A and B are shown apart, each in its own frame.
Chain A
């Protein structure tokens, strides 16, 4: 049980997909115009990620090594078509908002990355825990980024005006450049928190201070 919890919880902070391992940036940047879009995209990814991890883990012993990527993609594509049809049936406005980014979950590097790095090597219960943790981490990250951008860029949160009447929306935050600015600031904040918490624990911070990591061109602090 302890190992299940370990695999589940690593996706929530230590390896949270868009902010720590910087994977799945295409939907992260493109759909987070509002908190609602972020949560919708995240839920779709949880569905695909958990089921694809489970399926791949089940068939991991019968997939030939040489064609494994094709098999992973085929499984992911099947699941994505399923979620796409479900969204068309039940949440059509959200489907229209997310547009092309729902089909693009097929080639999302988180799905393929977890399949290759984890599900293909581990038993089913661990693979499901891993998929669930990574999916929830992705959803939390997207919802947070979406809320931040919606709050600054439109003065709203989940579609409700919260900033008061005199607030002039900072529109660039819900445009494309705002996505990069917000993501950059959040990455810097994550690194800052890690450095501070590592120092507090009395360890050397693992974040590279600069340069290429060879030790020759590191920035002196």
Chain B
């Protein structure tokens, strides 16, 4: 060390780069291709159910996301990352949360906000503290709740929104034995997120391909089931009417719980990196989902629950094993 210099005056002599230092050849492109394959069944089911309307929303959202990102990178003089496919996937994920009849200006504004506010202002892919589609979704839900309400924008549809029925008439208002229909997408909701069986198939594909780890979805669904079971069993004793505390499996079969647990809660840069943190994160998200559904103002709690839980990711990241050769911090 040179005499008479403080530590900060000495420039580093080695080029220090950020991790990863080792990889197995699985690129962002390949990962995004897997995401698109996983999203395909639900997209097909949405188009089968809503027709060209669903295709219109998905295509517009994906197109605006890609366009916004390329314009943003051009304006800031950054290296273009449009071709890694992440903007495309973000757009489709955002579209899955929208109702099929969403007006074009809502889809366009929401997609642009998803890319800019959700990700690019923080530095692009891998730097976002929150899941980008959820940021766009939250801004749209707070601003234009009427146009985000599936019942209000799909007037011609003969399907019902089970979340609204459960909220205002109690879960007993759902017809007996409707679980199978709900599972196969016979419900009004986000155009892709309500196709429960197709989304589940896509989620399992992601697990098999190793795009997401099983811990977060499992913990998330366990959190929903456990909290739901507690309220179902002990709700009346706590002063909650039996009609507002449905049996736990109904939380999974309605709204976007499954979609959020597999596709959004697992978003790589906004979820914890270590196993302990993943379990805590998932359980908390599931717990909050049920709380918002029972007590909250918004019928579908899952997106807000994950958005809130992601804010705690830096805290969950503190739950981790000691680094090799180091002390537990």
Q: How far is the CA of A169 from the CA of B142 in the complex (A)?
A: 11
Q: Is B70 an interface residue (CB 8 A)?
A: no
Task: Please give me the residue from chain A that is nearest to B140 by CB atom.
Answer: A172
Task: Please give me the residue from chain B that is nearest to A153 by CB atom.
Answer: B143
**What's the minimum C-beta distance from B191 to chain A, rounded to whole angstroms?**
21
- Please name all residues of chain B whose beta carbon is closer than 8 Å to the beta carbon of A168 when the two chains form the complex: 105, 144, 147
Most B-side CB within 10 Å, residue of A169, A173, A215, A216: A216
Q: How far is the CA of A177 from the CA of B308 in the complex (A)?
A: 14
Contact of B11 among A172, A175, A181, A216 (CB under 8 A): A216
Contact of A172 among B8, B12, B121, B139 (CB under 8 A): B139
| Residues A181 and B144 in contact in the complex (CB < 8 Å), given A214-B8, A216-B8, A216-B11 | no
Considering only CB atoms and an 8 Å cut-off, how many residues of chain B contact the other chain?
13
| Residues A181 and B117 in contact in the complex (CB < 8 Å), given A215-B8, A215-B11 | yes
Contact of A216 among B12, B105, B109, B139 (CB under 8 A): B12
The contact sample of 14 A-B pairs, CB cut-off 8 A, is: A168-B144, A169-B143, A170-B109, A171-B142, A171-B144, A172-B142, A173-B143, A175-B142, A177-B139, A177-B142, A184-B121, A216-B11, A216-B12, A221-B77
Most A-side CB within 10 Å, residue of B11, B77, B109, B143: B143
Q: How far is the CA of A167 from the CA of B121 in the complex (A)?
A: 27
Interface residues of A: mostly helix, strand, loop or mixed?
A: loop
- Identify 14 new A-B residue pairs, CB closer than 8 A, beyond the known A175-B142, A216-B11, A216-B12: A168-B105, A168-B144, A168-B147, A169-B143, A170-B143, A171-B142, A172-B139, A172-B142, A173-B143, A177-B142, A181-B117, A184-B121, A214-B8, A215-B8
- Please name all residues of chain B whose beta carbon is closer than 8 Å to the beta carbon of A171 when the two chains form the complex: 142-144
Against B, the Cβ 8 Å flags (1 = close, 0 = not) of A171-200 are 111010100010010000000000000000
Most B-side CB within 10 Å, residue of A170, A215, A221: A170
Task: Please give me the residue from chain B that is nearest to A184 by CB atom.
Answer: B121
Task: Please give me the residue from chain B that is nearest to A185 by CB atom.
Answer: B121
Q: How far is the CA of A172 from the CA of B143 in the complex (A)?
A: 5
Task: Please give me the residue from chain A that is nearest to B117 by CB atom.
Answer: A181
- Please name all residues of chain B whose beta carbon is closer than 8 Å to the beta carbon of A214 when the two chains form the complex: 8
In A139-174, the 8 Å CB interface with B consists of: 168-173
Q: How far is the CA of A177 from the CA of B141 in the complex (A)?
A: 13
- Please name all residues of chain B whose beta carbon is closer than 8 Å to the beta carbon of A184 when the two chains form the complex: 121
- Please name all residues of chain B whose beta carbon is closer than 8 Å to the beta carbon of A177 when the two chains form the complex: 139, 142
Q: How far is the CA of A173 from the CA of B105 in the complex (A)?
A: 17
Task: Please give me the residue from chain B that is nearest to A219 by CB atom.
Answer: B123
Q: How far is the CA of A170 from the CA of B77 in the complex (A)?
A: 29
- Please name all residues of chain A whose beta carbon is closer than 8 Å to the beta carbon of B8 when the two chains form the complex: 214-216
